Amino acid sequence: VQLPTLLTWHSFNGGVDVLGSTLELLRARQQRVRRVLYLVEKDTPLQDEVVMAQAAGAEIEILRLLLKDPTRHEAVYTCVRDEVIPRVRGCSALHVNVSPGTPAMHAVWLILHAAGALPSGTQLWSSQYDKKQDLGVSSPWTSNFAPTSAKSAG
């Protein structure tokens, strides 16, 4: 059984601080993450040490993915299906932060989740920063799709 895992794209605009904020927000909701799969477009200049500094004790695996066009749903879908999904199969507690990335990246998480491609019980999260209240907000979007069902339990 794999460790409770967070799966997230690198935030081009928000930087690696988004990872640290997301882990903090999940901890505040009693969601313990032990492993992070941090998805980065291959040519994105990013130092591993900077990502590791946001880990809060979690293992970090940085996946540098070749995406021809991160705005094209088909390109993102194929990349995630072939390169990422095999790494989370059998994960008993998977959290996906759908907020970072392009609109195509957001949509692909929803498509894969609804189609049952992610492990049963996967939780999709939206992590946003509320500038008016100077407060991080993390809320589950949907949870517990069974692999063969589109019925949400949460």
Q: What is the pTM of this model?
A: 0.81
Per-residue model confidence as pLDDT tens digits over 46-102: 888 888 888 878 899 999 999 888 889 999 999 999 999 999 988 888 999 998 989
Using CA atoms, how far residue 139 sits from 6, 8, 114, in Å, is: 14, 15, 18
Strand residues in 32-117 grouped as ranges (E): 35-41, 59-65, 94-97
What is the average pLDDT value for the chain, to the nearest integer?
A: 80
